Structure 1
Amino acid sequence: MEKLREKISFKDMGLLLVGAVIYSIGTHAFMVPANIAPGGASGIALMVNYLTDLPVGALTLVLNIPLLILAWFYLSHRFAITTAVASTVCSLILDMAVAPFCPVYNGDRMLCSLYGGVIVGVGMAMIFMTGTTTGGTDIVGYLLQKKRPHMSIGRALLIVDSVILVFSIFVFGNIEAALFGLIALYAQTKVIDSIIYGGDAGSMATVVTKKPDGIAAKIIYELDRSATLLPARGAYSKQDTSVLLCTVRKSQFAKLKKIVYDEDPDAFVMVTETSEVLGQGFREFKDTI
């Protein structure tokens, strides 16, 4: 516990509290009145709230308890403790600080799904930035991935959230609940990614070429970027060649392809989309810590 306290800084606590407030506002003001359950333990809690009128925050915490016990035994103690703290803070703020005072929006459900997804996404991103989660499907996803190592966390979460969306059709009595829930889930995911990974997404090109110097020179001159050159040898041809690694902004990628083609039409190019690029010419490391 002492090590855990050392790692929880004032900045993290501030982010957790602010994130919990924003997350609670999005849930209470938009998700609850529109009967939208966009996955997760909170999605199940929203459906139970619709049937029983019990507080959403308390329901979310109760639903997380068995999952936290499983996380304690099958994942890690630290993960279980930090997730329990975040889940408790979010639940208390939702029921005691936000629900009694925050007005709700009873208008168009499309607006509820969009604004609810965006606001909840902002709150969750701030919570994730502290190195923890709000529990729910995150725990289930990690448990599924541990049981089936070949399954990615993203796919595991998608499966669990899809099941919750399907159930919401029967609970709320209309298929629009799942459709609007899907929109909210998509908006929430995009916002989380954009905040956590930043706006410096780019494309990384791995170019196998026999003319690396000409390509590198044009990249430096025309794109104001640099590249890394690595010596290589073809496994089939047994001939010496070079591998050029270069990362550019997405807006520069079309120009990069033209440079490679003009210099070496026989080059072999592999492209990887990067969610964030840090370092010289992009976002500084210090701005992300």
Structure 2
Amino acid sequence: MRANVWKELENYFLILLGTALMAIAIQWIFDRVGLITGGFTGLTIIIRNLTEALLPGGIPLWLTNIVLNIPIFLYSYIRFGKNYIGKTGFATILLSVWLYLIPVIDMSGDDYMLAALFGGAFTGIGMALVLKAGATTGGTDMVAAIIQSHMRHYTVVQVMQVLDAAIVILGLYVFGLRPTLYAVVSIFVSTKISDAFLEGFKTSKAAFIITNRYEEVAERLMDELDRGVTGLHAQGMYTEEKKCVLYCVVSRKEIVRVKEIVNDVDSSAFVIVSDVREVLGEGFLEYSDDF
């Protein structure tokens, strides 16, 4: 029971920190140079810019974010129930609170590349922390889920991509081509960083080895590298010959030695090497409550 309480507290702390980083990216970087990276946050920047002529400073970002999300949350509550909203409601409100509290600072000046890189980095880390806590910040995520519930032949991701692309195109109309191109760079950076945080930074290598001398190769891999090797029963579809394919996961620096061993035993062997993330088990990452 106590472990569950601490886990929930940890999740809310992650949401607190993640939304703060996202708000910093919006207030200090994106809003200053007009980088529209999609989502309701991008829409709030567009609305603030368009209303500057009517209201000094335009409509505040935090206010627009709340106003846009209120009908979405009400509809989601009616359609999906209160369990669906959960932490996402907390994250959405908290993001608006941070946008209200964090002072406006011009962090990147007129350097669009710095804005794209650091804005993407802050957003990517912040979003990863929020997602790790089992929440989102509402916005186009929920809109996409609502639309997909009526259009089942599309996925939520597909609908969300269309919505975000439309917001980016709207940003092109409001801010011009240059900020929009750098916004694409920022989207790429934030996606890569978010994936890295969620999937883990420690990458390993997996090798599939097809050789007629599989027993000798497997023995040397186990003896010299102290790594486990799995034999997979396979059949060549051209020759219809039964084969044993060796599967072995090693660290990045050990893959060189794997290829040397295979080449030494059977220079005609066929080897496929691929990247893997978060290898759990003996010799790699240990299991924990986060996995």
Task: Identify unmatched segments of 5+ residues in structure 2.
Answer: 52-57
Alignment match, 2:55: none
Which of the residues 280, 283, 286 maps onto 2:282? 280
Matched, 1:56 2:61: yes
What's the offset of the Cα at 1:78?
2.9
The RMSD of aligned alpha carbons is: 3.2
Alignment match, 1:180: 182
Provide the rounded CA distance (Å) in 2 between the counterparts of 1:255 and 1:144: 51
Provide the rounded CA distance (Å) in 1 between the counterparts of 2:269 and 2:43: 52
CA change 1:237–1:68 in 2 (3 A) is: farther
CA change 1:134–1:8 in 2 (3 A) is: farther
Provide the rounded CA distance (Å) in 2 between the counterparts of 1:259 and 1:139: 52
What's the offset of the Cα at 1:38?
0.9
Sequence identity, in percent? 29
Alignment match, 2:172: 169
What's the offset of the Cα at 1:175?
0.2
Which of the residues 72, 82, 86 maps onto 1:81? 86
Alignment of 1:98-109 (within 5 A): 98=102, 101=103, 103-105=105-107, 107=109, 108-109=111-112
CA change 1:209–1:106 in 2 (3 A) is: closer
Contact 1:45 1:56 in 2 (8 A): yes
CA change 1:207–1:58 in 2 (3 A) is: farther
Provide the rounded CA distance (Å) in 1 between the counterparts of 2:43 and 2:233: 54
Contact 1:69 1:80 in 2 (8 A): no
Alignment of 1:208-247 (within 5 A): 208-234=210-236, 237-247=239-249
Matched, 1:111 2:114: yes
Provide the rounded CA distance (Å) in 2 between the counterparts of 1:250 and 1:288: 24
Can you list the C-alpha shifts for 1:163-183, whole angstroms capped at 9, x where unaligned?
Answer: 3222211011x1012111112
What's the offset of the Cα at 1:193?
1.6
Secondary structure class of the residue paired with 1:37? coil
Provide the rounded CA distance (Å) in 2 between the counterparts of 1:270 and 1:156: 35
Provide the rounded CA distance (Å) in 2 between the counterparts of 1:135 and 1:265: 55
Match of 1:164, as an amino acid? I
Contact 1:200 1:282 in 2 (8 A): no
Alignment match, 1:12: 11
Provide the rounded CA distance (Å) in 2 between the counterparts of 1:270 and 1:76: 47
Greater shift in the superposed pair: 130-139 or 260-269: 260-269
Secondary structure class of the residue paired with 1:17? helix
Secondary structure class of the residue paired with 2:288? helix
Match of 2:117, as an amino acid? L
What's the offset of the Cα at 1:115?
1.3
Alignment match, 2:205: 203
Match of 1:21, as an amino acid? A
Provide the rounded CA distance (Å) in 2 between the counterparts of 1:105 and 1:244: 52
Contact 2:236 2:242 in 1 (8 A): yes
What's the offset of the Cα at 1:156?
5.0
Provide the rounded CA distance (Å) in 2 between the counterparts of 1:285 and 1:50: 48
Normalised by the size of structure 2, how large is the TM-score?
A: 0.80
CA change 1:213–1:185 in 2 (3 A) is: same
Greater shift in the superposed pair: 103-112 or 182-191: 103-112
CA change 1:247–1:145 in 2 (3 A) is: farther
Contact 2:145 2:156 in 1 (8 A): no
Greater shift in the superposed pair: 61-70 or 105-114: 61-70
Alignment of 1:264-275 (within 5 A): 264=266, 267=269, 269=271, 271-275=273-277
Alignment match, 2:54: none
Contact 1:58 1:92 in 2 (8 A): no
Query: Number of paired residues?
Result: 280
Match of 1:83, as an amino acid? T
What's the offset of the Cα at 1:252?
4.1
Matched, 1:45 2:47: no
Provide the rounded CA distance (Å) in 1 between the counterparts of 2:225 and 2:287: 22
